[in-house]
Structure 1
């Protein structure tokens, strides 16, 4: 079951905090949304929500070695700074159980997720699946909160409408040739965001395309086969999927990025709230003195631990 206030791990040993109880008989509770929906999810337990409907829960994913002193300190800033929020540290085992149970009606998603052997690809896909199924706040382990309570991250004027909250990673100070992307280290969402569903569908299709191209199983995929992780499952994939879905929901051919870039304050487009670069990625954006005077405070700091940047695509046990 979901644990309302899951205890943070107290050692570097990854502690399995099962999000879904899988009994020996495989008994599951399912919630089917409507006769017209093509999918169903295992029924979640209630989680406190903010006034904007975004659940008050912070999701993390541990590698095989658990928390380091640094990641424990960083995550503590968000956990302790938001006492009204539940938090959960997913592990490889609990992540597998969660996806198998919550997406049982989508065997293509389950097979794709469980088949992946590259840690960063699974971690990327898991964050989108968690937010699709239960919503809340996804945070990478190397993100610390900067002192502004999460309840204040969404301006009051947008709380009724914002179903997905993202922030620019590269926006101001990079010129016009940069490939702009949303951060994937911090995402906020209501459950069942159609835009995150689009990201999931694109990733699953990408996995199917690559396995066919290289004539391998999902487990046989290697980093060299999928190309750039940022494009395959990471922030560029997130950005493309969200903007594509948002354009579809607004009945336009494409989103004009001129309307959502160079931001100095949050911008709501449809049900997607886009935060300026300083919100989630202050160190990655450069503002001139005039602009800096009118900016709000950073919300988080990303410490760029980069534990996935190796030949394994992530941390391994041992």
Structure 2
């Protein structure tokens, strides 16, 4: 059964100074929880032997369209042994409360958000961190290469997160390179996804404080750019930040840009631009014979690009 998107009730504050105290306390608690949570999370979420063969999807208020169902069914047909899990707002809220009961800052931040695209971005990081598997946006179609063959055999044991360039080939160095967020693969407990989550929680409270509203009062127009706040740019920054911590050195796009085959950096496997975003960049003629097949086809539905920041009923 498909359920309409839930509407979270906004919390109203009549006293601005009282609200400021709430924000400060929340940020302090966030810092404390992050410190305390660090060791317990790493112990509780041990690496799995394999990345789960599960594809996660998030349904909007209109449910699963005929086209999206064809793409999802096609993925399962091409990948025997994989299952699809469709999340809706009603079961998401309960899952968040149960799975992140040790992180009240995460629960509070997610449940209070009302902009659909912010929640969808947040959800993919939470699901893959806690459960592992693959995240697909509903407008993603599988290519002909089986998912089990995405990671080169000699890199499988070392790979805990698989991401691919959205913008890479054909772009000059003065333009932004960023990771695609419509397709992500991960083992559960990735420290890099934990960094994304922690950074996003902090930004939610900082942005709310900037506009003197609770997290439930954040509106799309208050944010300079969704892609930067919670989407691909956020994912890119936080993953590189986490890699710097784990590798103990400066890390930037020069380590993995312009690649024509998968490249492992730490425990993160970077896919070339053709893998997840073949239409976003043009490769020079001299390397055309070295470009591999598309792993996924992204159809760019853009259902979040409206004043509400999400699909309307």
- Confirm whether residue 37 of structure 1 aligns to residue 34 of structure 2: no
Match of 2:164 in 1: 167
Question: TM-score, normalization: structure 1?
Answer: 0.84
User: Secondary structure at 1:159's aligned position in 2?
Assistant: helix
- Structure-to-structure mapping, 1:263-302, within 5 angstroms: 263-302=259-298
| 1:14–1:66 distance in 2 versus 1, CA, 3 Å | farther
TM-superposition CA deviations, 1:126-183 (whole Å, max 9, x none) = 0000000010000000000011110000011110100000000000112222211100
TM-superposition CA deviations, 1:83-115 (whole Å, max 9, x none) = 211210001111111111100110100000000
Shift of 1:296: 1.4
Pairs aligned (count): 282
More helix by share: 2
In structure 1, what is the Cα distance between the partners aligned to 2:4 and 2:185?
A: 25
1:314 to 307, 310, 313: 310
Match of 2:20 in 1: none
Match of 1:190 in 2: 187
Alignment RMSD, CA only?
2.2
Match of 1:127 in 2: 124
Check whether the contact 1:54–1:135 (CA below 8 A) recurs between aligned residues.
yes
1:55 to 48, 52, 55: 52
Question: TM-score, normalization: structure 2?
Answer: 0.85
User: Secondary structure at 1:64's aligned position in 2?
Assistant: coil
User: Secondary structure at 1:306's aligned position in 2?
Assistant: coil
In structure 1, what is the Cα distance between the partners aligned to 2:198 and 2:243?
A: 15
In structure 2, what is the Cα distance between the partners aligned to 1:42 and 1:316?
A: 38
User: Secondary structure at 1:58's aligned position in 2?
Assistant: strand
Shift of 1:36: 7.2
Shift of 1:76: 1.7
Structure 1 stretches of 4+ moved >3 Å = 13-16, 38-43
| 1:36–1:125 distance in 2 versus 1, CA, 3 Å | closer
Shift of 1:289: 2.2
Shift of 1:79: 1.9
In structure 2, what is the Cα distance between the partners aligned to 1:219 and 1:304?
A: 28
User: Secondary structure at 2:108's aligned position in 1?
Assistant: helix
TM-superposition CA deviations, 1:210-263 (whole Å, max 9, x none) = 1111111111000121220011100000000000000110001x2132220001
Match of 1:140 in 2: 137
